[in-house]
Structure 1
Amino acid sequence: MYVGVDEAGKGPVLGPMVAAAVRADPDDLPPDVDDSKRVAPDRREAIAATLRDRDDVAVAVAYVEPDEIDAPDTDMNTLTVRGQARAVRAVAAAGDRVVADAGDTSEARFARRLDDCITSLDRTDAVPGVAVEAAHGADEDDPLVGAASVVAKVARDASVAAIDAAYPAYGGVGSGYPSDPTTREFLRAYVADHGDVPDCARRSWSTCTDVLAAAEQSALDDF
């Protein structure tokens, strides 16, 4: 048996990064499973639901929340390893082959770090004896990694929908990405009302720093 693992939501300023792992025989996957970016949203949700409903497929999701992302002693590559490893440890068994979408410029380094995080005997949930490999573009080339990318994207979208519902007074939070005008307007309006970014925001992102600086400057100008 082997496990595919991928993540969604590295770049947004709002919400968690989400990693997902899928353990299955590739023949048991829906025939149109693919990299989540190449699958329509409705079909992504249908694929994710099918995977979760099947007894011969194991699915796990792990969340890396904004407070963990903002920690000063970490970086995005480490967070990606950590999130992917959490998801893999929830479904993998000794002897499994693990294929990951590489979250580092070096595929070998990412595979080595992921292997260490999955198999470390310092952890009570360690899974020894797995064989880990990583490749750029694995979400396009490997069906199980594609399946994991779909599950991660659906879970990430659900997190954004929950954030949106939590702030009904602001007319929507958008996609959560810094380039989204709706997201930026939500942050500007929230900071204007509360003097700080919301808990769902990654305050270490430059988007938040810029919004807070602009609000401070505006307050000085009005003084």
Structure 2
Amino acid sequence: MDLSPFETDNSVSCRLSSQIPDVCRTEDCCLGIDEAGRGPVLGPMVYGICFCPISKKEELKNSKVADSKTLTETERENLFEKLDEAKSYVGWALQILSPNTISTSMLQRTKYNLNALSHDTAIGLVKYALDSGVQLKEVFVDTVGPADKYEDKLSKLFPGIEVTVRPKADSLFPIVSAASICAKVARDRVVKAWNFTEDLGEVDTDYGSGYPNDPKTKAWLLKYLDPVFGYPQFVRFSWSTAQTLMESKGVAVHWDDDEEDGEKAAQRRNNKSMLSYFSASAGVNDRMQTHQTHRFFTDRRLKSLDTL
């Protein structure tokens, strides 16, 4: 599994895939869909599909694939290697959704929640398999939201394919278990080798589980909260855990509004106006200071001006 396309830019979504086995283009196939990392406040969410000929279902079952959550990391890695060794009849594809992609999607003006993002990602992966020539006849999906509605939605989108959506499908159908393993292995590897583009020095990688209720995760979030710029892109800043910490520990800033006479309103509230960071006086102060400009400004090529 080559993760370098995502590691080159981990701020965006990225698709990775195996070679398509020739037999999957000539025989009727089944496909399973599952995800890893839906709940954590840290790291990406990874959607995975795995597919093989229907005639190979029993062979896949005999490889002892199981719900990735019931396996140790070593067991998952070993099973992924088995799947990789079976590349003559097993194929897979992944969509890695970066924390930045998740948060910006959820916080955009038009409501786009995590369920909608999950559905669209799964649909995109099924379309990828079909466009690649995989002869899909059966699709098995671990549900997101009400199973019957999701099943109906997918059946209408993919007529001629028998769609089965079930809760805990990763423990019921080996092909979904295989997809679960691929997704979980990819997420674990990405999190372990995360490349922080922010200047954080030597980063403490003891994140805990990444889930919001984990004390280690909470401590990590508090440690790496910048009071002005918030979190590194490793964090899903749309999660309530992250938002609550930013609101309680971050610097209060007033966003200027003409109707409120922005600068004066900010002064009344004893807050800094956002415009003050770009004023002529701010530019003079910046030149007098010795510390480097924050990457927020350099990435966007923003500079303070004395004159317009």
Indicate the residue corresponding to 1:100 in structure 2: 141
Give the counterpart letter for 1:63 in structure 2. I
Check whether the contact 1:170–1:186 (CA below 8 A) recurs between aligned residues.
Answer: no
Q: Percent identity?
A: 31
CA contact (8 A) 1:36 1:146 kept: yes
Name segments (4+ residues, structure 1) moved above 4 Å: none
CA contact (8 A) 1:160 1:175 kept: no
Question: Quick check: 1:81 aligned with 2:109?
Answer: no
1:35 equivalenced with 2:67 (yes/no): yes
Taking only aligned residues, the RMSD between alpha carbons, in angstroms, comes to: 2.4
Hey, what does 2:36 align to over in structure 1? Answer: 8
Aligned residues: 208
The 8 Å contact of residues 22 and 57 in structure 1, kept in 2 or not, is answered as: yes
Q: Which amino acid aligns with 1:67?
A: N
Distance (Å, rounded) in 2 between the aligned partners of 1:109 and 1:85: 14
Say whether the 8 Å CA contact 1:102–1:134 is kept in structure 2: yes
User: Deviation per CA, 1:162-197, whole angstroms, max 9, x where unpaired?
Assistant: 22x536623213332212222222221211476411
TM-score scaled by structure 1? 0.82
Write the distance in 1 (CA, Å) between the matches of 2:161 and 2:149: 16
For 2:204, the equivalent position in structure 1 comes to 171
Larger radius of gyration, structure 1 or 2? Answer: 2
1:102-181 matches, within 5 Å, as: 102-104=143-145, 106-115=146-155, 119=158, 129-163=160-194, 166=196, 169-172=202-205, 173-181=207-215
Counterpart position of 1:58: 91
8 Å CA contact 1:14–1:176 kept in 2: the answer is: yes
Secondary structure of the 1:60 match is: strand
State the alpha-carbon separation in 1 of the partners of residues 245 and 156 from structure 2: 38
Query: How far is the alpha carbon of 1:115 from its aligned partner?
Result: 4.4
Report if aligned partners of 1:94, 1:130 keep a CA contact under 8 Å in 2: no
User: By how many angstroms is 1:217 displaced?
Assistant: 7.0
The residue that corresponds to 1:90 in the other structure is 128
Q: Distance in 2 between matches of 1:116 and 1:64?
A: 25
Equivalent residue for 1:188, pick from 222, 238, 249: 222
Matched residues in 1 for 2:152 and 2:33: separation? 15
- CA deviations on 1:6-50 (whole Å, 9 max, x unpaired) are 111111111211111111222232532111111221011111122
Looking at structure 1, the residues matched to 186 and 79 of structure 2 have their Cα atoms a distance apart, in angstroms, of 12
| 1:170 counterpart SS class | coil
More helix by share: 1
Match of 1:68 in 2: 101
- Which SS does the other structure have where 1:5 is aligned? strand
Letter in 2 for 1:209: Q
Letter of the structure 2 residue corresponding to residue 89 of structure 1: K
